[in-house]
Structure 1
């Protein structure tokens, strides 16, 4: 009897788990090992979704079902390039799917971007979501904040800055984060876009939630009345977005506790301050030729002690793998990895942001993963079986300890226990030290 095919998935976020789900649904013999450098699965669902958006986080509960299969193993605390190589994975599995997302930041490339208080939105989100790699964010003295970008990430970070801490207290935010948010309240948040309100990437639900925060006054500047009009020629999403902005700006808020400013047709010219952010100089923009922007040399200065750039993510080059530095992805054809010359690399595949770039929502990864898995299974069916090495056994022989799914369940239980003691659903275990203490309560030797 032919052995079952063995597939490794590198990355336990939505893309990787949707790929595992598709594999096990379409092949009832395939064996899947899901690797991640963290001891916790779910990736962006755990560390990228705003804590107060519990509905989206529940997608993790659906994806958790894939681990109920005896043919699926979670192998945490294993990092590609540090603990295992591309060559070892290809020798140990019939196919390898790289689903490592996009963990690098896009930059403004302006003077002052390196000042204390100038951060990427990714860094800020990682902090309030309790990622163990996150550096602490200090908000003492922050009254005005500038958020650069007009997508849902910008909406999330602006909302967290403006929302009363009492309304965040029942989320899974780590206690130090809640304490920092509660110590000093931001009074003004500017959301700055290079183009107009009709060119934003906001979704209506996210924008409406931000624009209707209690006791927050909303202003919309930089856009013309025509841009904010209810134009019948607009698509449904854009019409809804401009309507939300127009109505929010027209609403009167008596004695506001904070102000939210949407500023369109401006870009960051420079960030000023000695060692810390003190202000931001913006340049007015306008449409140029070929749909490109051009500066007008008209400037505006905003006081600010915090600048968060929410202008996109990029994939990182993975050890030993081909990489497209322009797009920030592993080059591929519908999920099949290719080299720099476009030649398909047998047995290697990609899914998620490292495949297509940082676009789409959580659910986009499902159809994306199905496309990749369809090609993977087609290729396996046409490939002669070969002898494979045992990668988990190799890791064990090196003395490498790993976190299996049972270890994650211990983290999950610890977080729920912490939360219950505080009247919350859960409280995140948010540092490597604490995670390691929980994970290593039991023996991490392999059970094959």
Structure 2
């Protein structure tokens, strides 16, 4: 019998459990640990609430989760309840599937001012992650600055630009919905230190921005390369450029003459945040440095020109990437924002998968081949039977330490309660406090 512990119940964790079942069938026991009482990680707390079609991928994990050889072990946190070393003492293999839940630091002066947030925190806040439920961003200023040129930046800009009616059918949590409904933000500036050809924005996300009821996306035509320069780009990037070129047609509405409800979304390319300026501890402007592209070994790099200008702003959200959260005594790759590994191997008996292995790259579906690859390595590395106690050993430890473990069937009770509490048209109203989740799980 193989005993496998997977730490993290997001897509990477469940795809890895699926791979383990295919590899060993009834000769494996897989325990999937998560610090929260609820599974699915990024699907629940990272995917935008108006992307319900993406969230539905969690449905495919249910057959794996309900397999008797797989068990969800929620509300058990590394460092608080047990250590990696203790897991390795109990299981034949421990696989870190913790994702990359932490923001890359915005390393400029003023980044710690009030109403300046990383995207992990801001996205976690509107998605109901318990860690960020008390974030309380203030949307009482006219202008917000979003830093970054990827899909997360578009998600943040899109939600800031939505009208209250456009949140129908989403699972945005009540506290965020109320804040967005009171928002005074009517100008959103998306800063990108490089140019349009270097964006990581997909056509689908840009199309969603263009389809908003009251927004007006704007690109300065001078920021766009000649049309013929698009030819060598891959097809998706060319499609994205077509949207940006569409946004460059026609001037932005005059702020004094625009409809009071209209939201202008400005793309500012070749623009790097230089400092965040504030008064009384809160952001009031972003100082930006104009950049130019220089050829480098890894592609075009942004270099500062020394030209500075200011954008008045009462809210800043930095969407510059994510990184895995370091774990004591586990080698860590600071530059890659991931655990140091060779093809998923960290050290004997310890592996990593998904963003914890690769860094924050790839789509949700990229985690499936990654999970199967790591299980292949586990199968080749370990002898048939190491004599570990696995699930039984953990259960004895949990009882001794009085851990309040949440099983998948308990999660189903939580989900049932969230669905029952949903406002009209919404799929659910998420609990944003762990205590409420535990209470719902305990109901009979």
Which residue of 2 is the match for residue 264 of structure 1? 269
Which residue of 2 is the match for residue 138 of structure 1? 137
CA offsets 1:69-111 (integer angstroms, 9 cap, x no match): 1111111010112111122111111111111111221122111
CA distance in 1, matches of 2:385, 2:424: 56
Which residue of 1 is the match for residue 318 of structure 2? 309
Unaligned residue ranges in structure 1 (runs of 5+) = 338-344, 443-448
CA contact (8 A) 1:212 1:248 kept: no
RMSD: 1.8
Shift of 1:417: 0.2
SS where residue 273 of structure 1 aligns?
strand
Match for residue 401 of structure 2 among 384, 398, 401: 398
SS where residue 188 of structure 2 aligns?
strand
Match for residue 372 of structure 1 among 349, 356, 374: 374
CA contact (8 A) 2:196 2:223 kept: no
CA offsets 1:228-248 (integer angstroms, 9 cap, x no match): 557322221221111101112
Further displaced range: 37-46 or 129-138: 129-138
CA contact (8 A) 1:7 1:31 kept: yes
CA distance in 1, matches of 2:295, 2:177: 47
CA distance in 2, matches of 1:130, 1:334: 34
SS where residue 226 of structure 1 aligns?
coil
CA distance in 1, matches of 2:139, 2:185: 10
Q: For residues 322 and 209 of structure 1, do their structure 2 counterparts lie closer, same or farther at Cα, with a shift above 3 Å needed?
A: same
CA contact (8 A) 1:171 1:427 kept: no
CA distance in 2, matches of 1:15, 1:287: 36
Which aligned pairs between 1:194-343 and structure 2 lie closer than 5 A? 194-221=193-220, 223-227=222-226, 231-250=230-249, 255=258, 257-274=262-279, 275-288=281-294, 290=296, 291-337=300-346
Which aligned pairs between 1:347-358 and structure 2 lie closer than 5 A? 347-358=349-360
Q: For residues 155 and 227 of structure 1, do their structure 2 counterparts lie closer, same or farther at Cα, with a shift above 3 Å needed?
A: farther
Which residue of 2 is the match for residue 24 of structure 1? 21
TM-score, reference length from structure 1: 0.92
Which residue of 1 is the match for residue 365 of structure 2? 363
SS where residue 19 of structure 2 aligns?
helix
Which aligned pairs between 1:420-439 and structure 2 lie closer than 5 A? 422-439=424-441
CA distance in 2, matches of 1:74, 1:34: 5
Which aligned pairs between 1:53-64 and structure 2 lie closer than 5 A? 53-64=51-62
CA contact (8 A) 1:13 1:43 kept: yes
CA offsets 1:150-174 (integer angstroms, 9 cap, x no match): 0000010000000112111331111
CA offsets 1:258-293 (integer angstroms, 9 cap, x no match): 101001001001111111111111110012353432
Further displaced range: 12-21 or 282-291: 282-291
Which residue of 1 is the match for residue 415 of structure 2? 412
Q: Is 1:177 aligned to 2:180, yes or no?
A: no
SS where residue 380 of structure 2 aligns?
helix
Which aligned pairs between 1:85-104 and structure 2 lie closer than 5 A? 85-104=83-102
Unaligned residue ranges in structure 2 (runs of 5+) = none
CA contact (8 A) 1:197 1:228 kept: no
Shift of 1:385: 2.7
SS where residue 5 of structure 2 aligns?
strand
SS where residue 278 of structure 1 aligns?
strand
CA distance in 2, matches of 1:441, 1:151: 42
Further displaced range: 29-38 or 250-259: 250-259
CA offsets 1:209-229 (integer angstroms, 9 cap, x no match): 113322322211385443555
TM-score, reference length from structure 2: 0.92
Further displaced range: 136-145 or 227-236: 227-236
SS where residue 276 of structure 2 aligns?
strand
Q: For residues 387 and 173 of structure 1, do their structure 2 counterparts lie closer, same or farther at Cα, with a shift above 3 Å needed?
A: closer
Further displaced range: 433-442 or 93-102: 433-442
Which aligned pairs between 1:30-109 and structure 2 lie closer than 5 A? 30-109=28-107
The size of the alignment, in residue pairs, is 430
Shift of 1:67: 1.2
